[in-house]
Structure 1
Amino acid sequence: MKKLNYYPIFFLFLVLFSACSENESKKDDETEKITLELEFFVKDKPLKLLQEYQNDLHQKYLLENFKFYLSNFEFESASTNETFKVEDSYLLFSADREATTFEREILVKKGDFSKMNFSIGVDSIKNTSLDNTGDLDISNSMAWDWNTGYKFVVMEGKYFNDVSNPNASIPLVFHIGLNSNYKKVSLSFDSVNDKGIFSTENKKIVLRVDLNDFFSSPNQIDFNEINNIMGGGKSALLSQNYENGFVTLKEIQ
């Protein structure tokens, strides 16, 4: 029987392993861990689940569930015209009964950047497949049960619609998705410092999420008329709202 020579195979494996390790090491040298901090508010009040609030129409409501996706983060440099895209950046954020601040980490190329872009929702490629991991895992209860794809924003609660009876309420259900409601947001760093530059030496980007803008700008949402949206219908009114001012840049640290 002919004896097999395993040395060439072993040598090839060693070379491939060494190349992969070198690429990973180079990637680590070129990128920096940056913290994204989100602060949840309703106007000037911290947002907490099961706490009562009022919209601009003085309609009282509370939320029992509030989750949304921020995805496809990228950073632009005005000085070099370079754009750095963060890999697999699909982040699910969820409001809480106690906490109002939430942190996640992303890997950003070392350097100075003048603008940050991201999207609210899930892009069309990922949205047509549910074979995903991480925050896109369907166990996070953000996939439709009647259609392919994801819910981009889920908001559920109660609207106290009878002023004569403070305990009377109707459900508030807003499930926003579909590719047409995938919205890109651009935030310039010149809004928070004089230089207009974010350097990876800063380590933290603080974003503010204002639920009041979700219901009021540019489209005023009257809970008497709009209180239940499941995918389509008037969902464009709300996606226009979260495209404009729902998430803003508060500071860099």
Structure 2
Amino acid sequence: MKKTFRNILIASLFSGLLVSCSNDDDTQQETIEGFGDAELFFDNGMAGDALILGGSKTNSNNETLTVNRLNYIISNVVLIEEDGTEYVYPKNESYFIISQEGDMHTVHLENIPAGDYTQVRFGIGVDELRYLEGETAQQEFWDYAAANNMTWTWSTGYRFINFEGTFTSENNSEPLQFQVHQGSNSATDNYREVTLNLPTTARVRVDEMPNIHIIADANTIVDGTNKIVLSENLNTAGTNASIMGGENLILIAENTQQMFTVDHVHNGGGSHQH
């Protein structure tokens, strides 16, 4: 009888332990639901240094650039979970301008499904589908872009990247102006997309907003995989280098796909501190 009672006691204790462990597991498992916000913070640099307008940097083409303007359009943002599930940010709200001269660095995204995101994808510029919707459909963003030096005329469209300044080289010791305006034209579509892996999962929660800190290396525009020598792109008067179309702009569009890297992800309750 004593042995039977002892066996029952042991069985009861073991059963209680299993229930306790099961309850602990249930308590620890997080329920992910609702919606939250996220931010992409674009930190502009120049070949490993912070980009300071008016500062100079010598690139591998042996040209010294003094950058006076760096503006670009970020669009069509998509957040991707580890299993490949994509959240496509609403297209009509998914066009933003990053401007060093305007101190505009943050893309704020609202009402994102709560989840753990491991990648981000975005476009550089304005895609053809959006542009072909016409000026009326995008009047608000067009006016905003025009106010930030990101448009030509409506018939020639948007500047996707506006990169300007002066440069010196072995061929010109006196500074000459340069202008690199990446955009699409009737001959080529220079809109590009970039997918970036996040070093840390971005946790979107009702009460937790991740900030994805992205480094944008402006040096890559002319000094990336494709080397664009500004002194070989002077106008007939020899007074400035202006690249706004042609084969070099296609090469530059390829370079800009390598322009962005994610430095870190800050999971917290507020905006990025910088």
How would you bin the TM-score normalised by the shorter chain?
0.7 to 0.9
Distance 1:184 1:93 in 2: 16
Which residue of the partner structure matches residue 83 of structure 1? 86
Which residue of the partner structure matches residue 67 of structure 1? 71
SS of 1:224's partner is: helix
Check if 1:156 corresponds to 2:161. no
Q: Aligned runs of 1:237-248 on 2, under 5 Å?
A: 237-243=251-257, 245-248=258-261
Q: Which runs of 5+ in 1 are unaligned?
A: 1-28
Distance 1:64 1:141 in 2: 13
Greater gyration radius:
2
Check if 1:121 corresponds to 2:125. yes
Aligned residues, how many? 214
Q: Aligned runs of 1:20-99 on 2, under 5 Å?
A: 30-79=34-83, 81-87=84-90, 88-96=93-101
The C-alpha deviation readout for 1:72-119, integer Å capped at 9, x for no partner, is 00012233x42111121111011139x6x8223112221112211111
Distance 1:228 1:93 in 2: 22
Which residue of the partner structure matches residue 242 of structure 2? 228
Q: Percent identity?
A: 22
Q: Is this contact kept in 2: 1:181–1:236, CA < 8 A? A: yes
Shift in CA distance, 106/202, structure 1 to aligned 2, threshold 3 Å:
closer
Give TM-score, length-normalised by structure 2.
0.71
Distance 2:45 2:131 in 1: 28
Matched AA of 1:184: E
Displacement over 6 Å in runs of 4+ = none
Deviation at 1:136, TM superposition (A): 3.6
Q: Is this contact kept in 2: 1:161–1:170, CA < 8 A? A: no
Report the aligned-residue RMSD.
2.3
Deviation at 1:65, TM superposition (A): 1.7
Q: Aligned runs of 1:107-186 on 2, under 5 Å?
A: 107=110, 108-128=112-132, 129-131=134-136, 132-137=138-143, 138-145=146-153, 147-161=155-169, 165=173, 168-178=174-184, 180-186=189-195
Which residue of the partner structure matches residue 264 of structure 2? 251
Between 1:211-220 and 1:67-76, the stretch displaced more is 211-220
Distance 2:45 2:141 in 1: 23
SS of 1:241's partner is: helix
Q: Is this contact kept in 2: 1:90–1:136, CA < 8 A? A: no
Q: Is this contact kept in 1: 2:98–2:106, CA < 8 A? A: no
The C-alpha deviation readout for 1:15-38, integer Å capped at 9, x for no partner, is xxxxxxxxxxxxxx8431212111
Matched AA of 1:212: N
The C-alpha deviation readout for 1:42-81, integer Å capped at 9, x for no partner, is 12211021111111123112122221101100012233x4
Distance 2:203 2:142 in 1: 29
Distance 1:157 1:164 in 2: 15
Q: Which runs of 5+ in 2 are unaligned?
A: 1-32, 234-240, 267-274
Which residue of the partner structure matches residue 208 of structure 1? 215
Q: Is this contact kept in 1: 2:36–2:209, CA < 8 A? A: no
Shift in CA distance, 32/54, structure 1 to aligned 2, threshold 3 Å:
same
Deviation at 1:220, TM superposition (A): 1.2
Deviation at 1:209, TM superposition (A): 0.4
Distance 2:139 2:261 in 1: 28
Distance 1:164 1:73 in 2: 41
Distance 1:203 1:113 in 2: 10
Q: Is this contact kept in 1: 2:228–2:248, CA < 8 A? A: no
Deviation at 1:202, TM superposition (A): 5.1
Distance 1:146 1:33 in 2: 33
Deviation at 1:223, TM superposition (A): 1.6
Check if 1:106 corresponds to 2:92. no
Distance 1:59 1:127 in 2: 35
